[in-house]
Amino acid sequence: MIFKKLRNDKGVTMVELILVIVVVGFVMAAALSFFLFGTRTFTLGSNQAKIQQEARLATTIVSQDLRTAINVRAEYSGGAPGTGEFMVERVGDEPPYALRYVRPSGNLETAYVFMDLSFDVTYDSTAGKYFVIFSATGVEKDRDYTIASTMLLENNQASTLIPGEDYLQIIFGK
């Protein structure tokens, strides 16, 4: 009679139930691990894309308008654009910085994501031309994203520039 009860295949035994719970637990743990990994990767990618987007936006703004500017001047601090003038400036006393683009039709400003944002002016004596070097570096976790652009100032009125490094503002007319 005891052997008959032990060979009864009807229902689920406690051991089978525990095994199913353990297997389901492993499957759920693996699924949660993949989900958390995907979420972290997406967040990191989004932050990196934001920094790259802001750096590209800043470089595009500066290079498009500054390239054909007239009456260009660079300031280390506190300059203000006159009527009808444009200004590109670094905003913030310490990192992270933002880039502000002041123009007669309204202002644009990037997010505060730049650990380094600089304007340098150089003069090529053989060509007799001035260059503005713009560099923007954003940092996300342990990765640096740097976009640098060297712009030839095409107009002769740019000759009032004094070569120097780490200007805070570039003011110009169009």
pLDDT digits (tens, 9 = 90+) for 84-119: 888 888 888 888 888 888 888 888 888 888 888 888
pLDDT at 161: 67
Distance CA 91, CA 108 (A): 12
On the CB side of 122, how many CA atoms lie within 13 Å of its CA? 10
Token reading at 9: 């295949």
Confidence class of residue 32 from pLDDT cuts 50, 70 and 90? very high
Q: Report the pLDDT value the prediction gives residue 131, as an integer from 0 to 100.
A: 83
Tell me what pLDDT residue 6 has. Answer: 60
Structure confidence at residue 3 (pLDDT): 57
Name 75's bridge partners: 169
- With the C-alpha atoms ordered 121, 63, 112, 100, is the resulting torsion angle positive or negative? positive
Residue ranges covered by each domain of the chain: 37-173
Q: Kindly state the DSSP code that residue 79 receives in the 8-state scheme.
A: -
State the maximum Cα–Cα separation within the chain, in Å, rounded to a whole number. 110
Helices (DSSP H) in the chain: which residue ranges?
A: 2-6, 14-66
pTM of this prediction?
A: 0.63
